[in-house]
Chains A and B, each alone.
Chain A
Amino acid sequence: MKILRVIIMALTFLMTLPALVWAEEAVEAATPAIDSGDTAFILISAAMVLFMTPGLALFYGGMSRKKNVLNSIMTSFIAMGIISIQWAIFGYSLAFGPDVGHIIGNLDWLGLNGVGVEANPDYSTTIPHQAFMIFQMVFAIITPAIIAGSVAERMRFPAYLIFIVAWATFVYDPVAHWVWGVGGWLRNLGALDFAGGTVVHIISGVSALVAALVIGKRKGHGTEPMIPHNVPMTVLGAAILWFGWFGFNAGSSLAAGSLATIAFINTHLATAAAMMSWVIVEWLRYGKPTVLGAASGAIAGLVAITPACGFVGPMSAIIIGLVGGSVCFVAVAIVKAKFGYDDSLDAFGVHGVGGTWGALATGLFASKAVNELGNDGAFFGNPGQMVPQLIAIAACYAIAIVGTFVILKVINVFTKLRATDEEQDIGLDFTQHGEDAYADTVSGVPFGAGV
């Protein structure tokens, strides 16, 4: 009976939404003209960014063991369901709604109330407001899914679901407002972040590290072999991410034109450079250029260039990529082993570290000659740009650490975060989802492998 009442209440609420939207639309008057080219570009970009999430699913799925591949895929894929709804009902309003104290949006745009198909003078002068909203939605979807990489193979699925909704609400939405929302304090401060290095990568990467520490290591970490079960799957996922990232970065210019082209080229060059840099460093250290390393390096480059892609020149992008690939390799291969934390699929090592480097690099390499709307960086005569960059990084670390820690501790009161040792032995595919990915499921590691 209780459930029935909740359903009826929800339906009633949903049915009133269209009325609210129409009421608001009638009030809006003379708005700028919609540009069909820009609109086409942003809608396609949004679709490309959405496609990154299943790309991430394959990227992570290939790196997990056979018995956990479905769970790894599901942690990304389910975000396309649950976060889409969260975003439409209140997430978008919290992130981009009218400013409250430079910290968060208010609830005026609840249920997309007032978010129409006209242009919005603040966010989308040449495209429908809803196009901007859906473009931002696909960012909100992939960001919490990134965190799943650090807690892969051990986090219970129900706890994960609650976590990403809470995290999207209390961490992502506010930070998106700080950086991108009109009135947001980091935006006012002049911190440069073109496509989401802080909002997407730093906060997801840092939260991933916190989650890995709170939930603890996988059973058998360090004593059992934990080898990627399908590297081709990971490479396919990386390739899809690379493709989708053009929508992510170039699309962030919100117009089809020269700035989108600059971001597109920089995205590609930095990724190419980072792939080469990771492979070469790895080759020198371990004697072989691995395919997993090439895929990982590419992602590190994509992450590193994200905040800078619309503010720097192409040669700067190559340098950002070269450094990004090496720095992330060191974080993943050396630092992680040294500290012994179990960031299963290196969400922190790639997104946290790469995102931090990218935010710093934006402050170093930004140039007004490339984009007048940006600023000059430290290497172009304006060392002062490093101040807002560092403040932005520090603020993102702070909210990610505190927010993730508190959310996980609260969830832990109601439901267990961590799968039991036995559940981990059997694998999360069966224990969480009641399925097996492959017919020949055995132990989940190559026969005869040892540490």
Chain B
Amino acid sequence: MIKIECIMRPGKLENVKEAVNKFGIHGITVTQVMGCGLQKGRTEVYRGAEYSINLLPKVKIEMVVPDKDVEEIVKIVAESARTGEIGDGKIFTCKIDNVVRIRTGETGEAAI
């Protein structure tokens, strides 16, 4: 099993949700996060006092999927989250040892 962690533009969240849902992934976790990367921060001015805001709002989507589906899902997520401009975000994948469904106690791929 692989965890796919995608940090992306908040405005593309619906796109990505819809695309992975269509593929058959129903379990995702979404978090509002702040971050910085290649995209520059922004400046805000309050009564003439300028402040630089270096961290920008992003969303993080996490999902755990069977090994065989990883490549395709990553492609789907990347395509549906892309605008082509700096600031589109990143996708990370990592191995997951085990999954437990709390309600039933099922483990492994049966639990995702």
Chain A: CB-nearest residue to B53: A449
Is there a chain B Cβ closer than 8 Å to A369's Cβ? Answer: no
Q: Which of B48, B51, B53 contacts A337 (CB 8 A)?
A: B48
Chain A: CB-nearest residue to B55: A448
9-residue interface stretch from B15-23, B39-47, B72-80, B88-96: B39-47
CB distance from A177 to the nearest CB of B (A): 35
Please indicate the chain B residues that have their CB under 8 angstroms from the CB of A446 in the complex: 53
Docked CA distance A290–B44 (Å): 10
Is there a chain B Cβ closer than 8 Å to A334's Cβ? Answer: yes
A448 in contact with B34 given A227-B44, A227-B46 (CB within 8 Å): yes
Please indicate the chain B residues that have their CB under 8 angstroms from the CB of A286 in the complex: 45, 48, 50
Contact with B along A405-449 (1 / 0, CB 8 A): 000000000000000000000000000000000000000001111
Q: Is the CB of A450 within 8 A of B47?
A: no
Is there a chain B Cβ closer than 8 Å to A296's Cβ? Answer: yes
A296 in contact with B47 given A447-B34, A448-B34 (CB within 8 Å): yes
CB distance from B18 to the nearest CB of A (A): 29
Q: Is the CB of B48 within 8 A of A448?
A: no
Please indicate the chain A residues that have their CB under 8 angstroms from the CB of B34 in the complex: 447-448
Q: Is the CB of B45 within 8 A of A288?
A: yes
Q: Is the CB of A333 within 8 A of B55?
A: no
Please indicate the chain B residues that have their CB under 8 angstroms from the CB of A296 in the complex: 47
Please indicate the chain A residues that have their CB under 8 angstroms from the CB of B52 in the complex: 449-451
Docked CA distance A285–B51 (Å): 15
Q: Is the CB of B51 within 8 A of A334?
A: no
Q: Is the CB of B48 within 8 A of A450?
A: no
Is there a chain A Cβ closer than 8 Å to B49's Cβ? Answer: yes
Is there a chain B Cβ closer than 8 Å to A309's Cβ? Answer: no
Contact with B along A220-232 (1 / 0, CB 8 A): 0000011110000
Is there a chain B Cβ closer than 8 Å to A359's Cβ? Answer: no
* Central interface residue in B34, B46, B54, by most chain A CB within 10 Å: B46
Please indicate the chain B residues that have their CB under 8 angstroms from the CB of A450 in the complex: 51-54
* Central interface residue in B36, B47, B49, B52, by most chain A CB within 10 Å: B47
Q: Which of B48, B51, B54 contacts A227 (CB 8 A)?
A: B51
Band of interface residues on B? 10 to 19
A337 in contact with B45 given A448-B34, A448-B55 (CB within 8 Å): no
Docked CA distance A329–B47 (Å): 8
Band of interface residues on A? 20 to 34
Q: Which of A288, A329, A337, A447 contacts B49 (CB 8 A)?
A: A337
Docked CA distance A288–B46 (Å): 11
Q: Which of B44, B47, B51 contacts A332 (CB 8 A)?
A: B47
Q: Is the CB of A293 within 8 A of B51?
A: no
CB distance from A68 to the nearest CB of B (A): 15
Is there a chain B Cβ closer than 8 Å to A292's Cβ? Answer: yes
Q: Is the CB of B54 within 8 A of A292?
A: no
A292 in contact with B51 given A447-B34, A448-B34 (CB within 8 Å): no
* Central interface residue in A285, A286, A448, A451, by most chain B CB within 10 Å: A448
Q: Which of A228, A332, A451 contacts B48 (CB 8 A)?
A: A332
Please indicate the chain A residues that have their CB under 8 angstroms from the CB of B48 in the complex: 282, 285-286, 329, 332-334, 336-337
Chain B: CB-nearest residue to A335: B48
Contact with B along A324-341 (1 / 0, CB 8 A): 000001001110110000
Docked CA distance A180–B63 (Å): 73
Q: Is the CB of B47 within 8 A of A346?
A: yes
Docked CA distance A448–B44 (Å): 13
Chain B: CB-nearest residue to A333: B48
Docked CA distance A446–B49 (Å): 15
CB distance from A199 to the nearest CB of B (A): 26
CB distance from A147 to the nearest CB of B (A): 18
CB distance from A6 to the nearest CB of B (A): 45
Please indicate the chain A residues that have their CB under 8 angstroms from the CB of B44 in the complex: 227
* Central interface residue in A329, A332, A333, A334, by most chain B CB within 10 Å: A333
Docked CA distance A404–B31 (Å): 51
- A sample of 20 more A-B contacts (CB under 8 A), given A286-B48, A290-B46, A448-B54, is A227-B44, A227-B46, A282-B48, A286-B45, A286-B50, A290-B45, A292-B46, A329-B48, A332-B48, A334-B48, A346-B47, A446-B53, A447-B34, A448-B53, A449-B51, A449-B52, A449-B54, A450-B51, A450-B54, A451-B51
The 4 closest A-B pairs by CB, nearest first: A333-B48, A448-B55, A286-B45, A225-B51
Please list the residues of chain B having a beta carbon within 8 angstroms of any beta carbon in chain A.
34, 36, 44-55
Contacts A/B (CB < 8 Å), 15 sampled: A226-B49, A227-B51, A228-B46, A282-B45, A285-B48, A293-B47, A333-B48, A334-B48, A336-B48, A448-B34, A448-B36, A449-B51, A450-B51, A450-B54, A451-B52
